[in-house]
Structure 1
């Protein structure tokens, strides 16, 4: 199991002037990510490199601590950025990405967007409910995610739609905190306690109006942008049952496949088959409803399931659609499976989040095979 190291907050390390100012192409605001052979993770460090040769290093931590550092940029066969006694090889530098290396790669993305009034944006987020829709072209499955902010929590209601029919709901709740530096505003979400490097997700808030919210995830190489629409759906959050709640234990980058951590179900596949077959009833409009229905989800470290997604295809594995009632039934049944045994990391008793899927081979609306 990877060790836990970073804590939540803002730790600002301010450097002194240096003898060799950086070149103009490295000057600017950079937000980083940590890379190893398996994961690309938020590395909660912001570098503010200025033309006058000063550098401010901002680290997401649990307190405000200021430390003076000396730094310089050495040129040679390989450029070296040195902060006190730590040297970083400059592997690459482009207009929007800086890649450094010490024991691991550190990828920093240039921050160009800043909000004009951090306090106003924070108040605006609390005053609205935000909708994000996630789908792909020609995919009948649609996820509608509604976010409501309070002073210290984010409530997420996720609606699952298939072929324009509501087939399921799930609910998540997490603590969060805003962190800002020179009008660059970040949203730090804590998936579990303690909130640290492995349970913390950080994204930049780029823009907020009375109609939409724009955030950017600096973890990925392409820094994807997410757009949320302001909607009036307050009642959606007042009627949700705690039984629908799912909480991830770790950020998504740490989620392995079920077979790599031995995620299992009490009674094994036979118990799953019996549970499904005892509950599924083919609808009257079942003729011609043949193909595959694949339900993917996450089993968290506590053995609870959530974050469901449905894919459907014909018997030749080409994209296809089913009667929504078939999909709704199977999704509801899989959501009711509640005897999951969470997987464990190698050589550790620490339980893990993991991806799992259950597939169904259908002929005329009847289940002919359940695929583990």
Structure 2
């Protein structure tokens, strides 16, 4: 009897704690889901990125200044580029001609989300240096962070040697000044400095031995630390064999993956077939049949790299081929380095994905097609 009473008391206490826990969770959810209002975001924001897919972002750089009913879009030189009406009602947000659900208008981890557009507050810091002094410090030595070593040159180039990589990548840079704030702008590629802008970094601290920046990276706003490093001439004596001109090219983004934009091998498919016929040796007595597909990128220089391959049967189900077939095909495709690069609507040469499919019947290549 006594055990039953104790059990009932314990059960009652457990229920009380359960109700308290549920109440706390509900309160927390209610607090988190409080709708954002225009007054919460008034002032200036650094527009940083557009989220195309989960964990896939591309730079979208501007200063956004919100007032009670408008948003002023400025470049990072304080010039107004455009003005858009900005209103919020019960269910929707209206941003110029753009309307989206109010639940996609939110603040999360110091970031403002306007549907897929992401912005962050610039840091309110003032550096005790001017533009010229920043340039002098940058060029005085090499700089290293957790992923690479960087060298800033006199002709506004930035050379990047990734940890564990071979050769260096080449971009351009500029120091932008907005009001009393300084920003490091990385941009361009090995051919052109005035395109392919990277995520902007606000310089929030600069010393002879260390530089700190703040900006968007890997899905969030964070601080980045560059430490001074003695110059090693051997580190930057040879560029990498293959460099993407657009560092944000993504194989899962349809416009990058499937839209070739005029990319073609010099001499066409006829010349590719001729090269393959001269170099491929079918294994004797092979019974293997199916399709070997090689995917790669042709960059803005017309060079091919980032090779991947997979194989299918004739019903397009994944299968495996012997290495004696696949390795030959991949080696031949890697040797095809004389491409006309694709172009965008502006006529600029760009990086594009390309496919070559090889139909195999009893070990022999019977057809090659894009």
Among candidates 150, 155, 165, match of residue 153 of structure 2? 150
Matched with 2:25 is none
Matches within 5 A, 1:185-224: 185-191=183-189, 193=192, 195=194, 199-205=196-202, 216-217=215-216, 222-223=219-220
Matched with 1:7 is none
Q: Shift in Å at residue 213 of structure 1?
A: 6.9
| Partners of 1:114 and 1:206 within 8 A in 2 | no
Matched with 2:45 is 29
Question: Which of 1 and 2 has higher RCO (CA within 8 Å, sep 6+)?
Answer: 1
User: Could you tell me how far apart the structure 2 residues matched to 1:117 and 1:338 are?
Assistant: 48
Residues 336, 211 of structure 1: alpha-carbon distance in 2 compared, 3 angstrom cutoff: farther
Q: Which runs of 5+ in 1 are unaligned?
A: 1-20, 134-144, 162-168, 282-291
Work out the number of aligned pairs and report it.
299
Higher-helix-fraction structure: 2
Q: Shift in Å at residue 251 of structure 1?
A: 6.4
SS at match of 1:47: strand
Matched with 1:177 is 174
| Partners of 1:129 and 1:233 within 8 A in 2 | no
User: Could you tell me how far apart the structure 2 residues matched to 1:30 and 1:246 are?
Assistant: 29
| Partners of 1:257 and 1:354 within 8 A in 2 | yes
Q: Shift in Å at residue 94 of structure 1?
A: 1.7
Q: Shift in Å at residue 195 of structure 1?
A: 2.2
Residues 206, 175 of structure 1: alpha-carbon distance in 2 compared, 3 angstrom cutoff: closer
Q: Which runs of 5+ in 2 are unaligned?
A: 1-36, 282-291
For residues 98-129 of structure 1, give each alpha carbon's deviation from its aligned partner in whole angstroms, at most 9, with x where no partner exists: 455xxxx7723223657774858762576224
Matched with 1:296 is 296
Among candidates 98, 106, 115, match of residue 94 of structure 1? 106
Q: What TM-score, normalized to structure 1?
A: 0.52
Q: What TM-score, normalized to structure 2?
A: 0.52
User: Could you tell me how far apart the structure 2 residues matched to 1:180 and 1:249 are?
Assistant: 25
Among candidates 354, 366, 369, match of residue 356 of structure 1? 354
Q: Shift in Å at residue 49 of structure 1?
A: 5.1
Matched with 1:127 is 141
User: Could you tell me how far apart the structure 2 residues matched to 1:263 and 1:118 are?
Assistant: 49
Matched with 2:74 is 59
For residues 135-162 of structure 1, give each alpha carbon's deviation from its aligned partner in whole angstroms, at most 9, with x where no partner exists: xxxxxxxxxx65422241122456887x
User: Could you tell me how far apart the structure 2 residues matched to 1:213 and 1:272 are?
Assistant: 50
Confirm whether residue 305 of structure 1 aligns to residue 303 of structure 2. Answer: yes
Residues 297, 27 of structure 1: alpha-carbon distance in 2 compared, 3 angstrom cutoff: same
Among candidates 245, 250, 258, match of residue 248 of structure 1? 245
Among candidates 87, 104, 107, match of residue 117 of structure 2? 107
| Partners of 2:169 and 2:243 within 8 A in 1 | yes
SS at match of 1:178: strand
User: Could you tell me how far apart the structure 1 residues matched to 2:145 and 2:307 are?
Assistant: 20
| Partners of 2:46 and 2:121 within 8 A in 1 | yes
Matched with 1:47 is 64
For residues 58-84 of structure 1, give each alpha carbon's deviation from its aligned partner in whole angstroms, at most 9, with x where no partner exists: 6336x65479x99997554467678xx
Matched with 1:13 is none
Residues 75, 333 of structure 1: alpha-carbon distance in 2 compared, 3 angstrom cutoff: closer
| Partners of 2:46 and 2:61 within 8 A in 1 | no
Residues 156, 70 of structure 1: alpha-carbon distance in 2 compared, 3 angstrom cutoff: closer
Q: Shift in Å at residue 305 of structure 1?
A: 1.8
Residues 234, 337 of structure 1: alpha-carbon distance in 2 compared, 3 angstrom cutoff: same
User: Could you tell me how far apart the structure 1 residues matched to 2:123 and 2:277 are?
Assistant: 53
Structure 1 vs Structure 2 CA RMSD: 6.0
Q: Shift in Å at residue 252 of structure 1?
A: 3.6
| Partners of 1:280 and 1:330 within 8 A in 2 | yes
| Partners of 2:215 and 2:222 within 8 A in 1 | yes
Residues 113, 360 of structure 1: alpha-carbon distance in 2 compared, 3 angstrom cutoff: farther
Q: Shift in Å at residue 202 of structure 1?
A: 3.4
